[in-house]
Amino acid sequence: MGGEIPAENDFIKRLARKYHINYRMEWLGEGVRGYKIGDEIVLNSLNPPERRNWTFCHELGHIVLGHSQEPADVEEREADGFAAETMLPERDFVPDCAGFDLRRLKELYPHASYEAIARRCLQYNSGVLTVFDSGEMVFRGGSEGLVFPAIATAVEKRAAEQCLAERSDISVSADGLDIKGYFIDVGSEVIRVILISRPFAYFE
């Protein structure tokens, strides 16, 4: 099966024009984000649009910042920083993200994924982000300097389960935590739950 090559996306189209970059979509198979060859960016048509947007910005970062063809770790981080700033510019995003309201932020920045938005929030606010795909924890990270357990606590696990069971967003306060759970169903087989936990003061 080849799959439809998705329609062009305005976000990418505008950036490609601005930076005079060529790009194309290709069927690259599962788990592949994309790559660049010289000044051309190749994106995986299989990935959701928000992920393609991120990949485009990341690869664009490598090109704009003049990175080598085999980027070093520090260059990968710089490309991620470029992508974050291009997708969610600090000047606009900082005032917008104070309330950690992911639904509102997604309306303001529809080209970014919930996860990218949540990770950016943690650059400017104290908190912990936990991502569950179909009930399995796939990511957990916190704002810089915050001490927190590597695995979701019992109350967080319960919050994620509740979110999944009720198929809706939830808000829980327990054990010194304010937890917001977001139920994200984008029509793929995977149902995602994103938890934002704050303030975690009791772990310090």
Site string for Zn ion, 47-76 (x = CB under 5 A): -----------------------------x
To the nearest whole angstrom, how small is the minimum distance from the Cβ of residue 48 to Zn ion? 19
To the nearest whole angstrom, how small is the minimum distance from the Cβ of residue 36 to Zn ion? 8
Q: Name which of 41 and 121 has its Cβ closer to Zn ion.
A: 41
Q: Is residue 181 a contact partner of residue 87, using CB atoms and an 8 Å limit? A: no
To the nearest whole angstrom, how small is the minimum distance from the Cβ of residue 33 to Zn ion? 9
Q: Name which of 57 and 79 has its Cβ closer to Zn ion.
A: 79
- The DSSP symbol for 168 reads S
**Burial level of 33, CB count in 10 A (0-12/13-18/19+)?**
middle
Q: Which of residues 71-100 bind Zn ion (CB under 5 A)?
A: 76, 79
The token pair that represents 185 in the structure block: 């169903």
Helices marked H in the chain: 10-19, 49-64, 73-87, 90-96, 102-108, 114-124, 154-166
Q: Name which of 22 and 168 has its Cβ closer to Zn ion.
A: 22
Rounded CA separation 18/21 (Å): 8
Q: Name which of 76 and 85 has its Cβ closer to Zn ion.
A: 76
SS3 label, residue 201: helix
Total residues contacting Zn ion by CB under 5 A comes to 2
Task: Decide the pairing of beta strands 177-185 and 170-174.
Answer: antiparallel
To the nearest whole angstrom, how small is the minimum distance from the Cβ of residue 28 to Zn ion? 15
Q: Name which of 58 and 111 has its Cβ closer to Zn ion.
A: 58
End-to-end CA distance of the chain: 52
To the nearest whole angstrom, how small is the minimum distance from the Cβ of residue 82 to Zn ion? 10
Q: Name which of 76 and 96 has its Cβ closer to Zn ion.
A: 76
Which helix (H) or strand (E) segment holds residue 27: the answer is: none
The token pair that represents 21 in the structure block: 């970059």
Site string for Zn ion, 2-41 (x = CB under 5 A): ----------------------------------------
Phi, psi of 80 (to 5 degrees): -65, -40
To the nearest whole angstrom, how small is the minimum distance from the Cβ of residue 62 to Zn ion? 6
Listed in sequence order, the residues at least 6 apart from 149 whose beta carbon sits closer than 8 Å to its beta carbon are 203
Q: Which residues bind Zn ion (CB under 5 A)?
A: 76, 79
